[in-house]
Every structure is written in structure tokens, then in C-alpha cells.
Amino acid sequence: MQLGVALAHVRSHEYTGVEAMLEQALASARETLASARGAIEDLRVSSPSSTDFVEALQEEVRRFTLLTGLPCAAECDLLSQVPEGHVQQVLGVMREALANVARHAHARRAWVHVSRDEHSMRLEIGDDGIGFDPTQISSRPGHYGLLGLRERAHLAGGQLTVLSAPGQGTRIQCSWSKE
């Protein structure tokens, strides 16, 4: 749309604001290309084994901290018990949740924590950021991050819970059976 408007201005010899429109369209195109490349890379990355899983998660946390400058505490040793078939989806939940922290939270810190009880395990990714109303975001067109997280949790045989409110930070919890 931005390019169409810019073209209309050029055709009518109205050059005021065209440069800003083109810069905005270029920035949008670059962001879309980066997202597409990230999605393709996610498809190509082979799934780590359960023994490599904890190291892969710790590497993601290190990468997150390096790229964002946000400290991120990680307690994820229990993830070595994740069934092989769930490893890629659980890793995907963590990546996407941390990406959302980087993009939207305006946080000062984040964390990744794993807990378990007799029958299930839970991965929690949280932040102390601005928070949001999950009922408002999930109903807005073009916002597929939470939907993707829910689908990944379902593919891992689990469920996703989003705990957030404006000004209260966010916690994404992915729970699944240990079997």
C-alpha cells in the first residue's frame, strides 16, 4: 500500500513525503524478509536430541541476552526429560516467546523456568515488561504469535497458558504430560 501511494504521488508530480513513504516501505520489506528467513531457518534446523536439548535451550537464552541486552535467568535442566518427539516444539515455544519479549515487552529482565510434578512438566517464559490483555491481542487480525505458540504446545501434546495484564509483565506457560 505504501508503494502504491508513493507511486500515485510521483505520477501526479507531488513529491512531498514520497521519500518518507519509500523509507517506511523499505523498512517494512526488510522486517518481513527477516521474519520469512527466520521461519525458513526454523524449518531447516534439525531437532536436537534430549541430551542436547538443555544445551540448545541455554544457547537460545545466551543468544537472546546477547541480542537484546536483557538478562535472562534460565533454569532448564529438567528439560533433559522431555520426550524426543516433543523437543522441537518445546524449543520452538521458547524461541517464539523470547522473540515476543524482545519485540513487545519493553522489559528489564526475562526468565525461563522449568518445573514438574508427578504427571506433567511446565516450561515458563516470563518478563517484567509492560504486559498486555491476551483477550485483546488474540482477536486482532495479523497477530499470529500466540496462535503459533498454542499450536506448538498442542503438537507437543500439551497446552499453553498466557498470563498477562497491562503493566504486569507476561508469563507464557507450556505444560505437557511427561509420558
pLDDT in tens, 104-115: 999 999 999 988
Domain of 26 in residue numbering reads as: 2-40
Both 94 and 27 in a single domain? no
Phi, psi of 166 (to 5 degrees): -55, 130
- CA dihedral of residues 94, 100, 103, 108 (deg, nearest 10): -80
Q: In terms of DSSP bridges, do strands 170-177 and 158-164 run parallel, antiparallel, or are they unpaired?
A: antiparallel
**Alpha-carbon gap, residue 54 to 85, rounded angstroms:** 15
| 68-119 pLDDT, tens digit each | 899 999 988 787 777 777 888 888 899 899 999 998 999 999 999 988 888 8
- The answer to whether residue 148 is domain-embedded is yes
- The answer to whether residue 46 is domain-embedded is no
How many structural domains comprise the chain? 2
- The answer to whether residue 97 is domain-embedded is yes
Does pTM surpass 0.85? no
Neighbour order of strands in the sheet with 170-177: 72-75, 110-116, 120-127, 170-177, 158-164
- The answer to whether residue 56 is domain-embedded is yes
Both 91 and 110 in a single domain? yes
- The answer to whether residue 158 is domain-embedded is yes
